[in-house]
Amino acid sequence: MNLKKIGNNVLLAMCDAEIIGKTLRKGKMVFHVKEEFYKGTKVRIEEAVDLIANSTIVNMIGNNVVQKAIEKGHVHPEAVLTIDGVPHAQIVKI
């Protein structure tokens, strides 16, 4: 996970470790799971998902992290986009 303060926002980027650096495709969509965006501190999935409560922008990709966010009620299952078989979700708090 990577946690950054940008102005008044707290950006949380998190993904399953095994997909960092991969490129996912769905039709014309190309999604790069870039190290410089997602890689930061390696933590337990529960710890990363708990940080959603204090973040204003959340970007997550990976089976484990998205599923845990759904289980904790942070993400509705219908809001998940699947890219190359990998779930991706975003949260923006206004």
pLDDT at site 68 = 97
Q: Name beta bridge partners: 19.
A: none
Would the pTM count as exceeding 0.85? yes
| 93 Cβ contact partners less than 8 Å away, ≥ 6 residues apart | 55, 56, 57
For domain 2-92, give its CATH number from 3.30.1860.10, 3.40.50.300, 2.30.33.40, 3.40.50.2000: 3.30.1860.10
Helix spans in the chain (H): 35-38, 45-50, 63-71
The yes-or-no verdict on residue 94 having pLDDT over 90 is no
pLDDT (tens digit per residue) in 1-55: 999 999 999 999 999 999 999 999 999 999 999 999 999 999 999 999 999 999 9
Residue type, 14: M
| pLDDT tens digits for range 69-82 | 999 999 999 999 99
